[in-house]
Amino acid sequence: MMPPAFVEIAQLGKTYETPDGPAVIVRDFTLDVAEGEFVCLLGHSGCGKSTVLSILMGLNRPTTGGVVIGGREIDGPGTDRGVVFQSATLLPWLSVAANVRIAKDQVHRDGATVEPYLDAVGLGGLGARRPRELSAGMQQRVGIARAFALEPRLLLLDEPFSLLDALTRMELQDELMGLWERTRRTVIMVTHDVDEALLLADRIVLMTNGPAATIGRILPVEFPRPRRREALLAQPDYFWLRDAVLGFLEAQPAHA
């Protein structure tokens, strides 16, 4: 039995008016997410994953339906949600520590150090650096630290590792897993990487191709936690689940 829903997404739809008529991007997207659950939205590029996430962020208004988080319907951005984008989107004129402090001060103006958040992502002692002095992977670590500094009830991740090289990507996946294990924040993450979803998620929500994309299938990922990528390959259901995800994606009709 699923625990009570913390995030309730009900009949979400997004349509844009174009010179050729309405363009339906997402339709009837309905999903409940329990508190402390890690959910990955997965599908082909252009299937509406990021559109759904931008609505959850409060940056995009739905055409139909709505989102309730912790019993309150959202109508815009809020500090109850931490966000990490594909690129770190740091303020270049501020230090690493100041970039994280901006988020922390939104919820706690207690003057406490942000060093614990930097330590948690492997950047201890680098708070005085400027973003330009860091690699892309290190900048993304700062973005993750900034999101956690909000102490959000919901963490929204929009393909946060997709622009990184394979080794850095794996390192940050491990950092994220460790942070999540310690904090058990509710997470909804958009990815197009099947192995990433199998490593991180409690459930994988597979989306159909657009136009009018929606949920096509939901797969529970019941591997024991804490997870280690080398141990996953020994799980009896790993390759069955991987084949099920790939089979769904391969069965989706190509874009016109």
In the three-class reduction of DSSP (H, G, I as helix; E, B as strand; rest coil), residue 37 is classed as: coil
Cα–Cα distances in angstroms (integers) from residue 115 to residues 41, 111, 199, 205, in the given order = 31, 12, 28, 35
54 and 85 share a domain?
no
255 and 185 share a domain?
yes
Q: pLDDT, tens digit, for every residue of 181-193?
A: 999 999 999 998 9
**Claim: this prediction has a pTM higher than 0.85:** yes
What does the pLDDT read at residue 108? 78
* Domain ranges, residue 99: 81-151
Q: pLDDT, tens digit, for every residue of 50-62?
A: 999 999 999 999 9
Closest CA to 59 of 32, 89, 39, 35: 89
Q: In CATH, what number is assigned to the domain containing residue 14?
A: 3.40.50.300
Q: Rg of the chain's alpha carbons, rounded to an integer? A: 18
Residues 92 and 165 sit within 8 Å (Cβ to Cβ): no
219 and 169 share a domain?
yes
What does the pLDDT read at residue 106? 86
Domain final position from 123, 151, 179: 151
Mean pLDDT value of segment 83-89 = 89
- Look at residue 109 and tell me whether its pLDDT is greater than 80: no
